[in-house]
Structure 1
Amino acid sequence: MNAADMAATPQRPSALARYEDWPDYAVRHRYEAASPAAQHLADTLGVPAGTPDLEYTAHSETVREGVTTSRLSWQVGFGPRTSAWFVRPSGESGPLPGLLALHCHGGVKAYGAERLVSLPDQEEHHDAGSSTAGGSGQEPHPFGPIPPDVRKKLYDGRAPATWLAQQGFAVLAHDTFMWGSRGFGMDPLPWRTASAVDGQRALWREAGVEPSAAELYNAAAAAHEETVAKAATLLGSSVAGTVAHDDLAALGILATLPGVDSGRLGCLGFSGGGGRAMVLAALSPLVRSYVVTCMMTTFSSLLPAYLDAHSWLLHSPGLARLGDWPDLAVRSTAEAVLVQYALKDPLFPEQGMRDAHRYLVEHAATRYTGSFWQEPHVFTRAMQEEAAAFLSAALHPLQTLASPAPDLARTDS
């Protein structure tokens, strides 16, 4: 859409397509935390309260690679339905320790949690970017299966949620606010977003590149994140706070899934997913252990050169008044936290990582473990194996028999 197209458009398009009900929900629902420290964080981030006793719908189930994968969806109270995958060992039964696998930002918003789950091509579903809110969670993905290079670049070619289930965990991976099934509508493009996409199209033309539908969506969503951050600020919330709302909802679902021990819950995430893990653990006492990969530094180390390396998941207004970034780990009641640092990570200065590590050693020594890797910004297989071993030691998986499927009777559709 160019300037002439905008001028010819009789009405300015919505900048919150699929989320027109978000403002009303956000101003009427405020999260009530279990402790003053968690409440202070929730108020600072503007975390909306979730729907009590949230119900899910189980759509399908597949058995392959030694695990049973169930496709779930639920409605958090605003915006489109959330798509998710529950993966557990096929030969195990509960109670198993539960993990919430939190997908990264990655500059890839066309796809959400499916980057973490191994699925046959025909099982790649949901309605990301659709102009119709609240799909059933069963529509073919408008962008097709997730490109293999996405998983290779971010997760060393492995689907971590599926692999963790193979190690004996019950794993839930969900799309969060702004990604995949929870993405914003981009047809028509909001005007400011359209201008940014026009510029990217010009660069592609000059380079002789024909972008895919997913690449176009990702370009639009990247520019649109600024608009979402503005909307969140107007609502007394934040991008990180609204993402935390979705993550808290998923954690509540995980705690109720058949075969999951609600007393042994953990979470983990890489990059933006690591930031999500820190916020979630600081907000909810349900998280007993968690892993943060490639998402730890000090705020001061981001100034002035590293500000543009990160999204609004890290840059939350007012958060610095509560302390530094590693203070989130100190606020958590989790019994054990592992932070994995990648010393060749171009998104974080080494000194910032070292300073954060020293701070955590000083303030959370009995609960904190830090490991340093000579790696760039990637969650390698070796790092995943360390994370799994750490969570296994903290949550003590049990080896039993066949795991039940999600309860088809517990449905909201």
Structure 2
Amino acid sequence: MPVTTSPTTPDPADLRAVPGLLPLLRSAGPVLPSGDDGAAVRDRLREVLNPPPWQPVTTTTGRTWQADGVDGVELTWDVGFGAPTQAWLLRPAGETGELPGVVALHCHSGMKFFGKEKIADGPDGPRAEVQALRAECYGGRPWATDLARRGYAVLVHDVFGWGSRRTRVEDMPARSETYAALVLAEAERSGRRLTESEVYDVHAAAHEDAMAKLLGVLGTSWGGVVAREDLVAVDVLAGLDGVAPGGVAVMGLSGGGARAATVSALAAPGRIRATVVASMMSTIEHVLDGYLHKHTWVMMNPGLAHVADWPDVAASVRPQPLFVGYGLADALFPEEGMRAAHERIAHLYAEAGAPDAYRAVLADLPHCLAGEIRDGAFAWLDETMR
């Protein structure tokens, strides 16, 4: 998710613009209802996001490569609308036996021209824009590739709105294009030369709200459509030869972390074995003033407050293993909200009789999947998936 303003700068479209609304809504019905019943939370989430139905897909194999101790193969499948999904399957070089599977979920980051490339190296190598993002958010590393080298079968796919699944600029509505034109004109006046991907991302940023409106009218949501495609990817990886049975793990940073929590809550029992959420956890009420509009529609979907608090959604899969990494210097969440979320998740897992199934790292880090968060997540996956 992009960081566009300082967390101390009031967002002109946040809750303080409508004082008294939250108490009024609470007086009329449940807002952030109890998450003590995980199954009920999952049912409410499915109803609110309303992911479109899907059928099993057929994968097509493309190029293969080997580099830096990793074997890669391109996979493609059709999810029923839009361009085909492009994905990479990564494994340790030369390894042919069964390996634990991980679906690696790329972040939002305000970068939609690229999807899977942000977290994994493919046959063509990373572009400069991707390398800059990795330096900022991932300690300079393609973590999905590193995870494959560590001994996992890792599937990295583009999701609706990103990479091979991105919307063509010519299909974007005039309303969002008007805003994009202003931003591009300002860049030109300042003398800044934008790359092809940066130009596209200006268009895509304005288009995200327009797409959210369209999906809402159709009865679904950004979160629902993305979850549908992540559920397809989970099924694809679980069905591949050379992937150990018993469920796969899902892992992501930021918008990818929201996707990890969501797909885990919506998946069929036994499909997902472990969940890693990095830099994407806070109580909702703590983000309503000054933080909410820094976040993606993939997490902040209409009706979410009638499902449960966000930590309750993540913990709805208990006693399934869950790892959450909190960067206490994260500009997208207040520290108070992160600490409250950690306490809530720990409480729910303890009540379920599985306190050790929840692992957390609270580190003095910014919005990232790096350092202590990355090292802790990798070590925890080794304990949980082997």
Instruction: Give the equivalent residue in structure 1 for 2:91.
Output: 88
State the percentage of identical aligned residues. 39
- Compute the displacement of 1:146 (Å): 5.2
How many residues are aligned here?
A: 341
Quickly say closer, same or farther: Cα 1:146–1:86, change in 2 above 3 A: farther
**Aligned partner letter, 2:338:** M
Instruction: Give the equivalent residue in structure 1 for 2:358.
Output: 368
Divergent runs of 4+, >4 A = none
1:327 and 2:312 aligned: yes
1:194 and 2:163 aligned: no
Q: Give the Cα–Cα distance (whole angstroms) in 2 for the partners of residues 359 and 271 of structure 1.
A: 19
Aligned partner (choices 33, 41, 44) of residue 45 of structure 2: 41
Q: Give the Cα–Cα distance (whole angstroms) in 1 for the partners of residues 167 and 245 of structure 2.
A: 32
Question: Is the contact between residue 363 and residue 372 of structure 2 (CA under 8 Å) also seen in structure 1?
Answer: no
Q: Give the Cα–Cα distance (whole angstroms) in 2 for the partners of residues 109 and 48 of structure 1.
A: 22
**Range 249-258 or range 364-373, more displaced:** 364-373
Q: Give the Cα–Cα distance (whole angstroms) in 1 for the partners of residues 272 and 41 of structure 2.
A: 15
Instruction: Give the equivalent residue in structure 2 for 1:112.
Output: 115
Could you give the per-residue CA deviations for residues 35-90 of structure 1, whole angstroms, max 9, x where no partner exists?
Answer: 665343212101112113x1100101101111101111100111110010000112
For residues 234-383 of structure 1, the aligned pairs below 5 Å read 234-284=217-267, 285=269, 286-333=271-318, 335-365=320-350, 366=355, 367-383=357-373
Question: Is the contact between residue 361 and residue 372 of structure 2 (CA under 8 Å) also seen in structure 1?
Answer: no
Q: Give the Cα–Cα distance (whole angstroms) in 1 for the partners of residues 166 and 74 of structure 2.
A: 18
Backbone CA RMSD of aligned residues? 1.6
Gaps of 5+ in 1: 1-34, 125-143, 397-413
1:175 and 2:158 aligned: yes
1:51 and 2:55 aligned: yes
Q: Give the Cα–Cα distance (whole angstroms) in 1 for the partners of residues 42 and 320 of structure 2.
A: 16
- Compute the displacement of 1:334 (Å): 5.8
Instruction: Give the equivalent residue in structure 2 for 1:157.
Output: 140
Aligned partner (choices 58, 61, 64) of residue 61 of structure 1: 64
For residues 139-150 of structure 1, the aligned pairs below 5 Å read 147-150=130-133
**Aligned partner letter, 1:166:** R
Q: Give the Cα–Cα distance (whole angstroms) in 2 for the partners of residues 330 and 338 of structure 1.
A: 10
**Range 262-271 or range 67-76, more displaced:** 262-271
Structure number with the higher helix fraction is: 2
**Aligned partner letter, 1:299:** I
Instruction: Give the equivalent residue in structure 2 for 1:404.
Output: none
**Aligned partner letter, 1:283:** L
Question: Is the contact between residue 184 and residue 202 of structure 2 (CA under 8 Å) also seen in structure 1?
Answer: no
Instruction: Give the equivalent residue in structure 2 for 1:141.
Output: none
Q: Give the Cα–Cα distance (whole angstroms) in 1 for the partners of residues 139 and 128 of structure 2.
A: 18
TM-score between the two structures when normalised by the length of structure 2: 0.85
Q: Give the Cα–Cα distance (whole angstroms) in 2 for the partners of residues 147 and 271 of structure 1.
A: 16
Instruction: Give the equivalent residue in structure 2 for 1:231.
Output: 214
Instruction: Give the equivalent residue in structure 2 for 1:395.
Output: 385
Q: Give the Cα–Cα distance (whole angstroms) in 2 for the partners of residues 168 and 201 of structure 1.
A: 44
1:212 and 2:215 aligned: no
